[in-house]
Amino acid sequence: MFKNTLSNLTRIRQVAEVLLRYGFEDVVTNTPLRRLVSQKRRLRWLEEDERPVFETTRWERIRLIIEELGPTFIKLAQALSNRADLLPEALIDEFEKLQSNVPPFSVEAARQLIEQELGRPLAEVFTEFDDVPIGSASIGQVHRARLHGGEEVVVKIQRPGVRDKVEGDLRLLHELVRLTGGFLRNQGLTNPQDVVDAFERSMTKELDYTSEARSMEQLRKLYESYTTFYIPKVYRELSTSKVLVIEFVNGCKITDKAQLLTWGLSPEQVAETGMDIYLTQIFEFGFFHADPHPGNVLVRPDGTLVLIDFGMVGKLTKQQKYAFAGVFIGMARQDARSMALNFRRLALSSDIPDMRAFEADLGLLIEDFAVLDVKDMSMSDLADSLQGIIYRYKLQVPGAVFLILRALVILEGIGKVLHPNFNTFEFVRPYGAKIIREQYSTENILSEAEYTGTQLLALLQTLPVDLRQIMRKVSKGELRVKVELSGYSSLLRKADELVGRTILALLALGSILFSGLSLLGHYAPQMPYYRGLPVITWYSLGFSVFLILLLTLPRRRSRE
């Protein structure tokens, strides 16, 4: 088990240290073993506020461990804070407190990296470059600049050495999961390796600024006809995987109500426009900005809304979009069964042993919200309730669903700052009706029929080859069905009978398909026809009927 890790003593030390923090200290403080720890030793385990670790909760200690491990682990915890299907609510609350407070790196390093990436001196690209960054994070930082054409831009620069650091931390995470997978599964995290794999894909994408550029360009194209919404232009010719140059947009935060009033704008209208734009992204395009906190949503003096920082985006397929909307529609109609069915459609995989209990829990959720006035409804409460049900029944739903719920809660908070009567449900309701019309539109039905037809045609093309292989194995006596049962001889006989009936069914299916395909053949003039059909078609149909009769005839039961 440790063969691969012995080659790197430094990593072993890191793994051992993290294992202690994840396991040993937690076990000591939550079992009678704590009695074996001296008072002097306990006093050395202090938080920054001088509170003994023995007085903290289990979830708080996990947060402290994450903070000590550094930015990559903090980003993992922040990502997991959106996954209510994996973690209990108490731990999510702790993870939401985590902040990546990383100081900016030197401007000299920033200038050097830009020149290396663009292959020319900084002065040839920018006439002005602000040495003081306007923002700093764990992956990179942002500087203002001006191009030779006079355009004001912001330059996003990746932190030097961050790629190697993140890749090293990811290797450590994989090693930790390998060593602690059994412990984590016993704690309720059923698929820790899948979680780390998904996080690795997310981080790899975030480390490549060209991915963010593509997302901006895609949304920019979708909204090119909108006059109330704007996405900054990306200068692709000046951007690389480590440097991103985008248009600078002047505006205030969407929550700066005083500034909006100074510009003569209606805060209520701004809130409604923002919600409408975001719901359009979800329910029409299925492609949305996943982090709409106030710092990422700006308002221009003319009232145009601007989104910035596309490092986190979410996507829904057409079927996921319909299923997600169906959950809200079912709730609006107070139809727990419809909500349950749409949850099943939405889930990547679900194993609900008791659908009645699942429907009953959804019915209780509906009852809780049905008695409330519209003004008393809260997206935050609904999101918590839905996430609680998802966690309780271990539904594996797309991660984009949690990003949407989180974003709707953030937007509701923004809306209530600007709009005294803001209610998220009132905005979602018309989109539900629109989704139903789209789902059952002629165009969508024809599209689904075309897809089904394509799949059926592919089956018909491969089925003759598969049948030929099966028949060849049957004729050679090579077809085997392996059934392992102990103490059930009657079931073995039934399995033997089932194999024979399966072969008959396959032969009948092949004969029916051959009958249909024989109609497409071009035959010699000597081929006899009966009632307009080739005789070979009739023979094939007759053989099919014979096989079907064999399948439907009752079998004589033998006594034990």
Q: pLDDT digits over 76-121, tens only?
A: 777 777 666 567 777 777 877 776 667 888 999 999 999 999 999 9
Residue 271 has pLDDT above 50, yes or no: yes
Question: 253 near 295, Cβ under 8 Å?
Answer: yes
Rounded mean pLDDT, 390-408: 82
pLDDT band, residue 306 (cuts 50/70/90): very high
pLDDT confidence bin for 447, thresholds 50/70/90: low
How long is the chain? Answer: 560
Q: How confident is the model at residue 374 (pLDDT cuts 50, 70, 90)?
A: low
The helix/strand/coil state of 254 is: coil
Q: What is the pLDDT of residue 523?
A: 64
Residue 411 has pLDDT above 80, yes or no: yes
pLDDT at res. 5: 43
Note the pLDDT of residue 128. Answer: 94
State the pLDDT at residue 155. 95
Q: What is the pLDDT of residues 527-540, one digit of tens each?
A: 677 766 777 777 77
Question: What mean pLDDT value characterizes the chain?
Answer: 77
Which region among 53-62, 146-155, 286-295, 352-361 has the lowest average model confidence (pLDDT)?
Answer: 53-62
- pLDDT at 248 (0 to 100): 95
User: What stretches of 300-398 adopt beta strand conformation (E)?
Assistant: 305-307, 313-315
Catalytic sites, residue numbers? 291
pLDDT tens for each residue of 413-443: 888 889 888 877 778 777 766 776 766 667 6
In this prediction, residues 339-362 reach a mean pLDDT of 83
Position 221 confidence tier, pLDDT thresholds 50, 70, 90 = very high
Beta bridge partners of 190: none
At 388, give phi and psi (nearest 5°): -65, -40
C-alpha to C-alpha distance for 424 and 121, rounded to whole angstroms = 50
**More confident of the two residues 79 and 2:** 79
Question: pLDDT-derived band of residue 4, with 50, 70 and 90 as boundaries?
Answer: very low
**pLDDT on residue 354:** 80
Return the pLDDT at 48.
Answer: 45
Say if residue 146's pLDDT is above 90.
yes
The SS3 of residue 2 is coil
The closest of 320, 323, 313, 324 to 278, measured between CA atoms, is 313
Q: Which residue has the higher pLDDT, 17 or 315?
A: 315
User: One-letter amino acid identity for 459?
Assistant: L
* Residue 549: per-residue pLDDT: 77
Share of the chain above pLDDT 70, in %: 72
Pair 453, 460: CB distance under 8 Å: no
Higher pLDDT: 334 or 213? It is 213
- For 51-72, write each residue's pLDDT tens digit: 454 566 777 777 877 777 777 7
Q: Which residue has the tokens 């600024």?
A: 209
Give the C-alpha separation, 550 to 327, whole Å: 46
Least confident of 28-37, 63-72, 295-304: 28-37
Higher per-residue pLDDT: 175 or 161? 161
* Least trusted range by pLDDT, from 233-242, 284-293, 494-503: 494-503
* Predicted local distance difference test score (pLDDT) of residue 183: 57
CB 362 within 8 A of CB 389: yes
Between 143 and 35, whose confidence is greater?
A: 143
pLDDT greater than 80 at residue 157: yes
Over residues 480-528, the pLDDT tens digits come to: 766 554 545 566 666 677 777 788 777 877 877 777 777 666 666 666 7
Quote the pLDDT of residue 84: 62
Q: Provide the percentage of residues in the chain whose pLDDT is more than 90.
A: 20
- pLDDT band, very low/low/confident/very high, at 34 (cuts 50, 70, 90): very low
Residue 157, SS3?
strand
Task: Note the pLDDT of residue 385.
Answer: 85
Q: Kindly tell me if the per-residue pLDDT of 395 is higher than 90.
A: no
Radius of gyration of the chain from its Cα atoms, rounded to whole angstroms: 31
Q: Which long-range contacts (CB under 8 A, 24 or more apart) does 434-440 make?
A: 434/283, 435/283, 435/321, 435/322, 435/325, 435/326, 435/329, 436/325, 436/329, 439/322
